[in-house]
Amino acid sequence: MANPVASKILAFDVFGTVVDWHGSIAREVDAMGLGVAGSAFALAWRAGYQPAMQKVRSGELGWTRIDELHRMILDELLVRFGISGLDEAGRQHLNRVWHRLEPWPDSVEGIRRLKARYIVCTLSNGNIGLLTDMAKRAGLPWDCILSAEVFRAYKPDPAAYLGVASTFDVRPDEVMLVAAHHDDLAAARGCGLLTAYIERPLEFGAVHPKDVSPRPENTMHCSSIAALAEALGC
């Protein structure tokens, strides 16, 4: 097994791995009193995410930021959920809930500890502005915000993973992707990156627990980002 301590760069998936999109959106939608269940709305919004990015990957859409894709999905959901009382300013504000996602309780402290030994950066399909707003609000202490937007390629496009290594002028196996999703990690591994799986059993909410069983192909498997810091001696 490659020695993870020897890697130089830790690149973090963000939605689900660092922040709790389901809980954050469900709480905000519930608080708006729109007459819909926040959890169902959050799950439906997130379910539109991969199909929307696929339109960009396939070329059906030109390069489009996640903010705009989120808005396209939101406009469909408002119709589907029968929500009519939201004006343009309200829609814009709700769409930016993705800029206001709350970190999991261990994220800020875990990343802070890892930062002492590694370059810690994002590698998210979220756009740069979204990730910057989120980091500033939540206190996520990134050394650098990298995004699909920098590489004009959405994960799992190899250009995104290899872009991190190129950005820092290191070999792919000097980068470790940290993520709560096996498909993201598999694509990174295919590009030669090391991989750390983070258990986020409540990513889809308490009533939809996620299987977080270890898979031997990952370099590391940790219960949280803080546990990753502990395992790496940070």
Report the interface residues with a second copy, using CB under 8 A: 67, 119, 121, 127-129, 131-133, 135-136, 143-146, 149-150, 167-169
Among residues 80 and 136, whose Cβ is nearest to a second copy? Answer: 136
Rounded least distance, CB 136 to a second copy, Å: 5
DSSP 103-123: BPTTHHHHHHHHHTTSEEEEE
> What residues contact 142, with CB distance under 8 A and at least 6 apart?
111, 120, 121, 122, 131, 135
Sign of the dihedral defined by the CA atoms of residues 107, 110, 112, 114, in that order: negative
Rounded least distance, CB 166 to a second copy, Å: 9
Single-letter residue type at 24: S
Among residues 109 and 133, whose Cβ is nearest to a second copy? Answer: 133
Among residues 150 and 202, whose Cβ is nearest to a second copy? Answer: 150
Among residues 90 and 129, whose Cβ is nearest to a second copy? Answer: 129
Among residues 39 and 125, whose Cβ is nearest to a second copy? Answer: 125
Residue in 21, 23, 17 with CA at minimum distance from that of residue 48: 21
Rounded least distance, CB 217 to a second copy, Å: 29
Classify residue 15 by its DSSP letter: B
H-helix or E-strand containing 198?
A: strand 194-198
Classify residue 203 by its DSSP letter: T
Rounded least distance, CB 56 to a second copy, Å: 17
Rounded least distance, CB 115 to a second copy, Å: 8
